[in-house]
Amino acid sequence: MGTPLAFWTHLVQTCSPHQIEFWGTLLTQLIFFWIPALTYTFLDPLFPSFSARHKIQPPFKQPSAGEIRHCALIVLRNQCFNILSSLILTTLAIRSGRGSRFLISEDVPGFWSEVAWQIPLCIVTREFIFYYIHRLFHTPRFYKMIHKKHHEFTAPTALSAQYAHPVEHIFANTLPIAIPAMVLGVHILTFWTFLAIMLVETATVHSGYDFKLLGLLEMARDHDAHHELFNVEFGAIPGLMDKLHGTDLSSRRWKREERERERKAREREAEGAGVDVGKVEVVEKLEPLDRRDLSDLLVCDLVD
């Protein structure tokens, strides 16, 4: 058992597929969410100067230490709920004689034959599912009942990636990742790799930091805009679903500027016709919001 491959072979020979799936998935979640999330969280108290240079939003909008502790407790609650749900589903599968939902064998997945196309496909499919569920949660009914909790952080922190109502945690955080891998029937090692990528990604985009080093580390700026403005950047991958539906920040800004040009044109026409400009309809500019509860006002429907 001196090599990872020998260890994996020994694991498959000595543990049941359900044990491997349950404990391996749990370990992946604990390592690849908590380590990056806590790393981002402790940057501010440990390296305040470095943190201040890379924080996207100003200091007065940042969550307090008490709010971060409360966030951590909600995240733990959601993860415990996930663990309990997985344990129940695993027990039911064992009792009914069903096998694991993933391929578990001594053979490791080939990179070019499996991993190189399965993980990108899973990422794109997850983005597709997540985008529409996220838009649904921004409709007035579901926003007030479910998604409003996640938007309590208008300046997000890494831990707030899983700060959500339990229903949202299942349908927006868990299922969009699980469904693509389960449908494809990927090897469990491929699924763990995909899961690890998604956990690091969600902690990073909620971190509130823009390091301007790699594309992934710049994605936080787009999602930060979503938490600040509420009705832009619903997706996780910049330039994909948001660009398709015109909900990316640049498209929203263009629409705002176009409305402003139309407003000024109407004012000029009104002045030329001798109409009181004050009676002309004014479209408000989309400005960054102060950290206050405007969630009942800033919800958007599935149809722009």
User: Which ranges constitute the DSSP H helices of the chain?
Assistant: 4-14, 17-46, 48-54, 65-96, 116-137, 140-145, 166-168, 175-184, 188-205, 215-229, 241-245, 249-273
Q: What are phi and psi of 54, to 5 degrees?
A: -110, -5
More confident residue, 110 or 240: 110
For residue 272, what pLDDT is reported? 67
Task: Give the DSSP per-residue string, 182-251.
Answer: HHHT-BHHHHHHHHHHHHHHHHHHTS-B--SSSHHHHHHHHHHHHHHHSSS--SSSTTSHHHHHT-SHHH
Q: Which pTM was predicted?
A: 0.81
189 vs 105: CA distance, rounded Å: 10
Q: Quote the CA–CA distance of 282 and 119 in Å, as a whole number.
A: 48
Residues in the chain, total: 304
- Residue reference for tokens 């930091």: 209
Q: What tokens were used for 22?
A: 């349950």
What pLDDT digit, counting tens, does each position of 3-30 carry? Answer: 889 999 999 999 999 999 999 999 999 9
Cα–Cα distance measured from residue 226 to residue 198, given in angstroms and rounded to the nearest whole number: 19
Match 């969009």 to its residue by tokens: 176
Q: Which has more pLDDT, 259 or 190?
A: 190
Tokens at 236, concatenated: 């996780």
d(CA 176, CA 236): 12
The model's pLDDT over 70-113, given as tens digits with 9 standing for 90+, comes to: 999 999 999 999 999 999 999 998 899 888 889 999 999 999 99
What sign does the dihedral 296-298-302-304 (CA atoms) show?
positive
Q: Report the distance separating Cα 55 and Cα 62, nearest Å.
A: 9
Identify the burial level of 240 via C-beta atoms within 10 angstroms of its C-beta, where 0-12 means exposed, 13-18 middle and 19 or more buried. middle
**What pLDDT is recorded for position 258?**
54
